[in-house]
Structure formats: structure tokens, C-alpha cells
Structure 1
Amino acid sequence: MHAGDHNAELAQALLGVSYDQLTPVQRSVIDLIATEQPSGLNPKLTGDDRTYWQRLADTIAAVGGSWTFIFSFLAVLTAWVTWNVLAGNLTFDPYPFIFLNLMMSMIAALQAPVIMMSQNRAAARDRVNAEHDYVVNLRAELEIMHLHDKLDALRSEDLVKVIKAQTETLNLLKRDMAELKARR
């Protein structure tokens, strides 16, 4: 049997539609079942192909979204305000702390897009993971259905064999009964 014919039969048997009507993901699952190959990991999930700047953005997002950063930043702000309130003539940013406000605005202006870049990459990785999980789950479900069909076929064959054996036994019993009646 040609591989395409087998795939078409599997698609019809397992999904109830022709192979041509399947989505690319569903086709890949039917192909994997037909060839009995393991699903494997999506190549996009295995390597770290991020650039230096992407790794830096991910690191900044990880640090900027941590309690360590929050407490450290709070300590720096407290020290800044305390120094500029109590230092007298040595202050470099007197109340209302305009330089501090400028620094915080610049940090926020730079940190927000960097975190968004990191989140966009995480969302893309999550989409790839979700697609891979879908393929694995769909394949498992279809494999179970396929095995169930095979078991049903085996049960049917066994049932036919049992019925034939019982019919033969019944025929032998009838013949023996007829012979016993004839002897009487």
C-alpha cells in the first residue's frame, strides 16, 4: 500500500475527514502515526538561538521583575532622599528631588520596552510549546483510537473463532447424541 493511501485511510478512520481537508498540524500528526515515529521536540524548543541583546533584555526583565530589584531600588531611593534631606550643603538633589525624578523616568522609559521585548519572546516560545503539546496530545488520542480499533478487530476475530469452535463442538455433540439415539 502506498504511504499516501495509508495516510488517507488513517485520516478518514481516525478523524472522519479526508487527508486533504486536514490542517498542516493534523497532517503532521497523521504522518507521525503512519510512520510510527516519535513526536520529538520542536527544533525551536531545543536551542538557545537568542542574540546577545535578546539575552540581555531577558536578564534585565528577570532582574527588574524580582523582589531583589524592588528592595535594592527602595534602599537606593531611601539613601538618596535621606542624604539630600540631611546633608546640608553637600546635597546634590535638594527637595523636590528633580534629578531623582528624571532618573526614575529614564529607568522606567528604558525598562518598560525591554521587558515587553522579553515578554514577546516568552509569548512566542509559549505558542510553540502549546503547538507542540497539541501535536503530542492529538497524536496520543489518535493512537489510542487506532489501538482501540485494532483491539476491536482482534476481539471480533477471537469471537468468530470462539463461535466456530462452539459450533463445531455443538455439531459434534449433536452427532454423538444422534449416534446414542440410534444405538438405543
Structure 2
Amino acid sequence: MSHDPQTPADPVPGAVPTPRLSPVLQAVLGRIARHGHVARDTNARFDAEATLGQRVADRVAAFGGSWTFILLFLGLLAGWTAGNWLLGRAAPDPYPFIFLNLLLSMLAALQAPVIMMSQNRQAAKDRLDAAHDYEVNLKAEIEIMALHEKLDRLREQDLKAMLTRQQEQIDLLTRLMAERRP
């Protein structure tokens, strides 16, 4: 009977089950074994893979969410309403500013999906950063565990050496005491 390589073999009675390693853990352990680095610039990679539309969406969202845009837009709205108000009935868009409402609705209809595209891209970037942070933290945890093991081995070696020296000193003192007795 053959087993699928993806399914674990029948457990051996008395054997300790070994968990399957996740692909991330396998990659991190591989980098540790090769003394490779886990840290990388995820922003550079993410930005390099961006399409023209994604870069435009990011710039539009960055400008649309800035104080510069807000102040310019407030100035435009104030100028539009003041100009049309002062011109009265001869104004191209008299009060209640229906054409301005149409322009604002079209701007909102175009700007909202572009901002949502940028937010989706930022969410994907955040997920990539979180996965990278997990890998870095995992490697750090493994390295710390290895350091603890090294320290424990050193402490054990020092303790054995100290006990050996202590036994030698006891033997020497016992021999000296035996020699001094008449």
C-alpha cells in the first residue's frame, strides 16, 4: 500500500508525532541553515511591481487626502459661489449652483473608486509587511532559542569543569590531611 506524500504515514505505536512545517517556517529554517538574511525591503519590491494605474491611484489618493487639496478645493468652491453669487441672474451657475453640484458629484464618483483602489493596494502592502514581520520575528525567535541552547551548554561545561576542579581540590586536601597525620 503506497501513501500520498502529502498525507502522513500511519503512526508508529509509541512514536512522538512530528508536526508538518508550514512553508514559511521551512523557508525561514532554510535561510537560517544557509546563514541567509530574512530582512528585505518589501516596499521597494511592492512598488516595483505596481502598474501605471496603481501608481496613479496612489498619487490621486495622496493628493486627494492632503491639506493642499482641501485648501485648494475650499478656495475653488468659495470662488465659484462668490463669483456666481455676485453675478446674480447673469451668472453661468446661479444659486442653488446646480452645475457645481453636478461637478462635485462627478468628482466624488471618480475619486471614490480611485481612493478605494489605493486603499486596497495599501491593504495588500500591509499584508506583505505583516508576513515579512512574521518571518523576521520567527527567525529572531529561532536564533534566540539557539543562543539559549548555547548558553545552557556553556553553563553545563563550566559547571562540570568547576565540579572537576572542586573534586581535585578535595582529593588534594584529603591527601594533605592524610600526610599530616602522625
- TM-score interval for Structure 1 and Structure 2 normalised by the shorter chain: 0.7 to 0.9
Aligned twin of 1:45: 43
Aligned twin of 2:124: 124
Aligned twin of 1:136: 136
Aligned residue type for 2:173:
L
Instruction: Map 1:28-177 to 2 at 5 A.
Output: 28-41=27-40, 44-47=42-45, 48-88=48-88, 90-177=90-177
Identity value in percent:
52
SS in 2 for 1:87: helix
The 10-residue stretch of structure 1 (108-117 or 78-87) with the greater mean CA deviation from structure 2: 78-87
The alignment of Structure 1 onto Structure 2 pairs a total of residues equal to 164
Structure 1 residue 31: deviation in Å? 2.1
Normalised to the residue count of structure 2, the TM-score between the two structures is 0.83
Structure 1 residue 46: deviation in Å? 2.4
- Tell me how far apart the structure 2 counterparts of residues 66 and 166 of structure 1 sit (CA, whole Å): 74
- Tell me how far apart the structure 1 counterparts of residues 160 and 152 of structure 2 sit (CA, whole Å): 12
- Tell me how far apart the structure 1 counterparts of residues 32 and 72 of structure 2 sit (CA, whole Å): 54
Do 2:31 and 2:38's aligned partners in 1 also have CA atoms closer than 8 Å? yes
Aligned twin of 1:7: none
The 10-residue stretch of structure 1 (27-36 or 155-164) with the greater mean CA deviation from structure 2: 27-36
- Tell me how far apart the structure 2 counterparts of residues 140 and 84 of structure 1 sit (CA, whole Å): 65
Unaligned stretches of 5+ in structure 2? 1-16
> What are the Cα deviations for residues 113-159 of structure 1, in whole angstroms up to 9, with x where unaligned?
00000011111111111111111112112211110111101110111
SS in 2 for 1:36: coil
Aligned twin of 2:180: 180
Structure 1 residue 73: deviation in Å? 0.8
Aligned twin of 2:13: none
Aligned residue type for 1:174:
T
Structure 1 residue 180: deviation in Å? 1.7
- Tell me how far apart the structure 1 counterparts of residues 163 and 33 of structure 2 sit (CA, whole Å): 33
- Tell me how far apart the structure 1 counterparts of residues 87 and 31 of structure 2 sit (CA, whole Å): 72
> What are the Cα deviations for residues 19-64 of structure 1, in whole angstroms up to 9, with x where unaligned?
x52221122222222222221316x532322222211111110110
Do 2:85 and 2:94's aligned partners in 1 also have CA atoms closer than 8 Å? yes
The 4+ residue runs of structure 1 with deviation greater than 3 A are: none
Structure 1 residue 161: deviation in Å? 1.2
SS in 1 for 2:161: helix
- Tell me how far apart the structure 2 counterparts of residues 176 and 119 of structure 1 sit (CA, whole Å): 83
